[in-house]
Structure 1
């Protein structure tokens, strides 16, 4: 008999709203500020000398892996791409503000508002809102700012060798292995 695996406990703990004032302050304010300083301050800025595209993509991947949760990691990579672009082109202050708003709205406010709903209904409502924001972002990127985004990507294109070299260094391999193993710890058998 084959075993089925689930990661729901890890996903639910990563997406659940805060259960205490200290958790709320950490998840909505201290965490985003700290993560922005580390990933968009130190990591992004230290990689910028290799090109903006490389710095944005690499810091976003590291940000996603840092979350040590497959589902949340995918979302974190996508958000990391946006936050890195904002930090490079505008200011780290703006990426901190966006990160705080993201965690505050999607991490606490929505769960507080939907707290009286059945859990399945609440997850559907949150998924629909996420989808609306995602489609809105795609609309802005693909239709409203298509030329600017295309030009930016062409001007800031990174060398593929640089990605290969970066993601095969011993330190990056250790970091990725540790984060992936931590993600697997949240998966249990049914």
Structure 2
């Protein structure tokens, strides 16, 4: 921004811009740290897995990695991948949460602490979010299908259960349906909204949705997660709590993984039950959308900074740009590798 535009800001706006810039740097660097912690604890988990499986101990990462690569049945199992996800996620979020509480100690509980009646709102909004997710997923599926027909492979995630066992099913359910939604809501709604909402809920919602979408690491999930992330963030911002979005997220992941879990445990006729449930949820979801869509509108007219000013200061912040780049590079890299 040039000197002329800066001089046009009132002292109150200049102070608000300064505070926004500082908080934007803090939350972006904290999110970058979370990604780094994921990598660090992934290395730690490989050491633990090597020691557990081989019965030996080593300080050589290459030794542990080369050994595990040869144990294809072990490392390709759902038990291994989900246990790894649980360990890495929980260890990383504990450190993230401690630092977050220190950096934003005066308002750290603003979105994280459950509030009365918000659980009911989560149950009410779940069908609408389910419909939005289905519509976005179908749209993304069509687009990726068109790309595939033109020779472009778009990487995606696989959450099917390999080598079914009680442990594999328990780990899959624990991580995908319970732990991951709670952690993601805490980070991508709770922390981000806590940091940025005081300056403008609109920019906080947008930043949250972008981070949530890109975090998934592949284009199909990133596109649909961005759309649902917008709705999740708006609901959390409106309710002043992540409790409703935790409930929505958990239920959404349960429905999305119901087939793989049911098949793994040998549940009969689960397709019929799932189809009926999806139809009912879908009908209720459309009704909620048609009757309550106006409730998703955010009004930032009373904020010191205008929505446009907030977006400019947040998304031109060097820390924000570095964080977004950290999320985009792996997606581009995987796309290039899939088509090389």
Question: TM above 0.5, one fold?
Answer: yes
Cross-structure match for 1:119: none
Distance, in Å, in 2 between the alignment partners of 1:62 and 1:74 is 11
Cα separation, partners in 2 of 1:146 and 1:34, compared to 1, 3 Å = closer
Distance, in Å, in 1 between the alignment partners of 2:210 and 2:201 is 14
Deviations 1:83-130 (A, max 9, x none): 212222233111111111111211x103345789xxxxx9xx99xx69
**Residue correspondence of structure 1 range 2-13 to structure 2 within 5 A:** 4-7=151-154, 10-13=155-158
Cross-structure match for 1:162: 310
Q: Secondary structure of 1:11's partner?
A: coil
Cross-structure match for 2:183: 34
**1:186 correspondence with 2:329:** no
Cross-structure match for 1:17: 160
Greater relative contact order (Cα < 8 A, sep 6+) = 1
Q: Give 1:42 deviation, angstroms.
A: 0.9
Q: Secondary structure of 1:5's partner?
A: coil
Contact 1:18-1:24 within 8 A present in 2 as well: no
**Residue correspondence of structure 1 range 37-56 to structure 2 within 5 A:** 37-56=186-205
Q: Secondary structure of 2:156's partner?
A: helix
Cross-structure match for 1:85: 234
Cα separation, partners in 2 of 1:162 and 1:30, compared to 1, 3 Å = same
Cross-structure match for 1:96: 246
Cα separation, partners in 2 of 1:61 and 1:139, compared to 1, 3 Å = farther
Cα separation, partners in 2 of 1:146 and 1:99, compared to 1, 3 Å = closer
Listed as ranges, the gaps of 5+ residues in structure 1 are: 117-121
User: What is the alpha-carbon root mean square deviation over aligned residues?
Assistant: 3.1
TM (norm. structure 1) is 0.73
Q: Give 1:80 deviation, angstroms.
A: 1.3
**Residue correspondence of structure 1 range 64-79 to structure 2 within 5 A:** 64-79=213-228
Distance, in Å, in 2 between the alignment partners of 1:42 and 1:144 is 30
1:140 to 283, 288, 292: 288
Cross-structure match for 1:58: 207
Count of residues in correspondence between the two structures: 168
Distance, in Å, in 2 between the alignment partners of 1:98 and 1:49 is 24
